[in-house]
Structure 1
Amino acid sequence: MKAVILAGGYGTRISEESSLKPKPMIEIGGKPILWHILKIYSNYGINEFIICCGYKGNKIKEYFGNIDSTLWDVELVDTGLHTMTGGRLKRIQDHIDDTFCVTYGDGLSDIDINNLISFHR
């Protein structure tokens, strides 16, 4: 199973941080939010990710070009600067061939991913 992470929004509500980098790259405990999301999904056996990039997507690409990402299979897809949520999913449909998870790239929570998947099946 793959997880799709929506990481292309502008982040206008926290512009003091997002003027320099996209929200998913804001650090918590020395690691970007995006890293924490991948780690959470990985703990549940989901290690294939499609990250829908947009605003400042080059910062996300730069990050994944500089870390050891052998733990995860990460595909970065430029889904457009002004594309909304549904449009981003439409633009990655050729990368999805089965059931998948989708989440925003700027939020963290303590949730049991397996229970979430079971609930929605």
Structure 2
Amino acid sequence: MINKDFQGLLIDKTSSMATALRRMDAVGRKLLIVTDKNLYHSMLSIGDIQRAIINNVDTTSEISTILRANVTVASDSDDIEGIKNHMLKRRNEFMPVVSDSGEIVRVLLWEDLFENGEKIPKRAIDLPVVIMAGGIGSRLRPLTNVLPKALIPIGEKSIIEQIMDSFLEYECREYYLSINHKAEMIKYYFEGLMGRYGSVRYVEETEYLGTAGSIALLKDKIRSPFFVSNCDILVDQDYADILDYHRSQKNEITIVAAMLNMSVPYGVLNTDCKGQLESISEKPELFNPCSRHH
């Protein structure tokens, strides 16, 4: 039940946000244990980093500058049921057990404590979901010569099912599929999934309206906030947290995008506005948000 090999989950408080993101990606977690001289210091979540980026904190900044206060961890005297209840309430994917001296004794992983396969619970949001599935999918040819890109299989399911399943975890049961290319094939496919996703309706483009162009066709059909997703992108984020941010900022639209991490294999010349050489960066690594929440 106890996983003792937790070194990959540790990160020093002087590390940069960019380093923390790379570590999360490497270990497949959205949470890290922050240390100070090899002793427990705090916890860092992907949400902490996202909030910092939204507030224009540079990704080269130390993670010590964005840590939250009063983060709860377990002690040796805590019983397992109490720890499990806390993890259920906070939706933590693991819990470090810390001694009185600050030593990290062990780390209790969600998948080990909940061996019956119980997933980290999601908060219900129950909002409509619009999926843009009308594109030709030219970059996926020759596959899309046969199938619409929404029905390209990823594992045992089509990619659009993977997307809809992720929203089902948040009790979303009202779907609008914007279709055009091979529209009848998509309709026929979902006839075989009748009832699985609640209400599935179609918005048919009579012509190609471009990225998200068909949303205008829904102006008299949806009266609440709603999610929009492409049919070929899988998002591993908490939709409830995204909705909370959208509402708290009173946004008209909130866009979720990825971080761009690019290693330039050449030397880069840094010049001033007149083209005069100021410095040379040898094979720099660029780590910047290519877009942010707006």
- Does TM, scored on the shorter chain, surpass 0.5? yes
Q: Contact conserved, 1:53 with 1:80, CA < 8 A, in 2?
A: no
Question: 1:2: how far off?
Answer: 0.2
Larger Rg over CA atoms: 2
Equivalent residue, structure 2, for 1:54: 180
Count of matched residue positions in the alignment of Structure 1 and Structure 2: 121
1:2 aligns with 2:121: no
2:227 to 94, 101, 112: 101
1:19 aligns with 2:145: yes
Question: 1:85: how far off?
Answer: 2.6
User: What is the CA–CA distance in structure 2 between the aligned matches of 1:96 and 1:56, rounded to whole Å?
Assistant: 25
Cα root mean square deviation, aligned = 1.4
More helix by share: 1
2:240 to 107, 110, 114: 114
1:30 aligns with 2:186: no
Question: 1:86: how far off?
Answer: 4.1
SS state of the match for residue 51, structure 1? strand
In structure 1, the gaps of 5 or more residues are none
In structure 2, the gaps of 5 or more residues are 1-126, 248-294
User: What is the CA–CA distance in structure 2 between the aligned matches of 1:18 and 1:112, rounded to whole Å?
Assistant: 30
Identity of aligned residues (%): 30
SS state of the match for residue 76, structure 1? strand
Equivalent residue, structure 2, for 1:79: 205
In the superposition, the TM-score normalised over structure 2's length comes to 0.39
Q: Counterpart of 1:15 in structure 2: which amino acid?
A: R
User: What is the CA–CA distance in structure 2 between the aligned matches of 1:71 and 1:101, rounded to whole Å?
Assistant: 15
Question: 1:83: how far off?
Answer: 1.6
Deviation sequence 1:48-105 (CA, Å, 0-9, x none): 1101111111111010112233442111221234121342001122221111111101
Instruction: Considering Cα pairs closer than 8 Å and 6+ residues apart, tell me whether 1 or 2 has the greater RCO.
Output: 1
Q: Counterpart of 1:31 in structure 2: which amino acid?
A: K
